[in-house]
Amino acid sequence: MNASPILASGEGALPASALTNALPVKRNTVTLLVPTLNEIVGMKAIMPRIQRDWVDQIIILDGGSTDGTIEWARANGYFVHVQSQPGIRQAYNEVLPLISGDVLLTFSPDGNSIPELIPQLIAKMHEGYDMVIASRYLHSARSHDDDWLTAFGNWLFTRTVNLLHGGHYTDVMVIYRAYRKQLIYDLELHRDCWHRTPERLFGCRISWEPLLSARAARRRLRIAEIPGDEPPRIGGERKLRIWRWGASYYFQFWRDALLWR
Ligand SMILES: Nc1nc2c(ncn2[C@@H]2O[C@H](COP(=O)(O)OP(=O)(O)OP(=O)(O)O)[C@@H](O)[C@H]2O)c(=O)[nH]1
Ligand SMILES: [Mg+2]
């Protein structure tokens, strides 16, 4: 006979099944993190499509915009943190103490991330995943922002992570994803030492989504993808530095395969 597991010993202890029935299930809280660097055109077009009650907290993480992005965001009631150090991962590190959600949802307001997918990403996280990615290449999804070089790079990086780290991804690079905030610490993404060498070698400052994908796969975390088209950028300028960032991420994938537990 299967006995119910007991959660507490001693007098009055209840079977776990009784407690599960009695307590409300704790819902993960979600912080929407919106990095911006001179994205006024995209912000005006995209942010009104996000219903504020979809998430528990919205933070605009600005890299020092001079085009009115910061002023527009504040005038529209958004909380804005302006980073003091340059670089996107440096900005992530700075804003960490301000993030109240259990789940972090990173979103690009330049037109590349479709706002209406936010509830789907959150619903999937509530199924118990550690990370859910809005993949530009799953099923019929496609990127309308890719040129031949970024399309090839995204394919190559995804294949590399799958081969080296045992992933099953269709998109390891995209910023548009939700993940448990705790992963940042568990996977040591916040530690400078894992980014400094490639940044120095290739003279740039990188983000941490590719390394997050690789390490989550290596640790066999619960990962899901949903299909998410990538529409073209609206206004502003591309910040991506294809060769330098690409070389840095590739360096990280191979070093992790050799060194990271
Ligand atoms: N706070 C902050 N935001 C940044 C920085 N660099 C880029 N961003 C923003 O991050 C968001 C995502 O940028 P990406 O989509 O990765 O880069 P991109 O320049 O749009 O390049 P493509 O999407 O490949 O065309 C955009 O809203 C950028 O403005 C930075 O150093 N600091
Ligand atoms: Mg973009």
What are the backbone angles phi and psi of residue 164, rounded to the nearest 5°? -80, -30
Report pLDDT digits (tens) over 200-213: 999 999 999 999 99
| Ligand 2 centroid from CA 232, angstroms | 8
Global pTM reads: 0.91
| DSSP count for the chain of H helices, then E strands | 10, 7
Average pLDDT, the chain: 92
pLDDT of residue 11: 37
Closest ligand 1 atom to Cα of 145: 25
As a CATH number, domain 27-259 is 3.90.550.10
Burial of 31 (0-12, 13-18, 19+ CB in 10 A): buried
**Which residues contact ligand 1 via a Cβ below 6 A?**
35-37, 39, 61-63, 83, 87-88, 91, 108-110, 112, 145, 175, 233, 238-240
Structure confidence at residue 6 as a pLDDT band (50, 70, 90):
very low
pLDDT of residue 7: 34
In this structure, the residue with its CA closest to atom 12 of ligand 1 is: 108
Distance CA 127, CA 91 (A): 29
Within 8 A by CB and 6+ apart from 171, the residues are: 133, 135, 136, 137, 138, 154, 158, 225
pLDDT of residue 24: 58
Distance CA 205, CA 244 (A): 9
Report pLDDT digits (tens) over 191-246: 999 999 999 999 999 999 999 999 999 999 999 999 999 999 999 998 888 999 99
pLDDT at residue 74 is higher than 60:
yes
Question: Domains of the chain: which residue ranges?
Answer: 27-259
Q: What percent of the chain has pLDDT over 90?
A: 87
pLDDT at residue 28 is higher than 50:
yes
From the CA of 46, the nearest ligand is 1
Sign of CA dihedral 231, 232, 237, 241: positive
Structure confidence at residue 94 as a pLDDT band (50, 70, 90):
very high
Q: What is the DSSP pairing of strand 223-227 with strand 131-135?
A: parallel
| Ligand 1 centroid from CA 41, angstroms | 14
| Ligand 2 centroid from CA 145, angstroms | 8
